[in-house]
Amino acid sequence: MDILPAARVTIVMGSQSDWPTLQEATTILGQLNVDHACGIVSAHRTPDRLYEFARGAEKNGVEIIIAGAGGSAHLPGMIASMTSVPVIAVPVESKFNQGLDSLLSIVQMPRGVAVATQAVGGAGAFNAGVMAVQMLAIYDHPLRARFKEWRLNRSAEVAVEIQS
């Protein structure tokens, strides 16, 4: 069975329609040269792929998983239940409830199955990338230096005065 390529950070989503949201996580990963891969792993439509990916993630060198899901949003929790690799969850905005259903589903994890849940949508996905970098930078000191420089540059971009 085909599984995703191995990368330090692997970003998974339930379907292609989640990509416009989840691609936001790749922004900082690319800017800071963090090895990452992206793919589709559906909790409901590809359960065998989900199982193989989650069970093999650590062995395949995945250090952090970013998992985005909408609607019933089972993907992050299912992955977290099958691996010791940290999972950062991104609730994807849904058609009916603007992602509130996704958010509530993801944050209702049973004790002992943790996911680090971000905000709904693109901002949450971007912050999932930021969090992944921060987690990797705990022991990767060159990455920590790049992240600190990135953050200083973002601060420097904020105007002091109002432009009218």
Beta-ladder partners of 40: 13
* 10-residue mean pLDDT series, the chain (164 residues): 78 95 97 96 92 95 95 92 97 88 91 96 97 98 97 88 80
The answer on whether 18 is annotated among ligand-binding residues is: yes
The secondary element (H helix, E strand) that includes residue 142 is helix 141-156
**Distance between terminal CA atoms of the chain?**
58
The rounded distance, in Å, linking the Cα atoms of 29 and 6 is: 15
Residue 164, CB-side half-sphere exposure with 13 Å CA sphere: 0
The whole model's pTM is what? 0.94
Q: What is the pLDDT of residue 28?
A: 96
Domain architecture of the chain: domains with CATH:
9-156 (3.40.50.1970)
Q: What is the pLDDT of residue 143?
A: 98
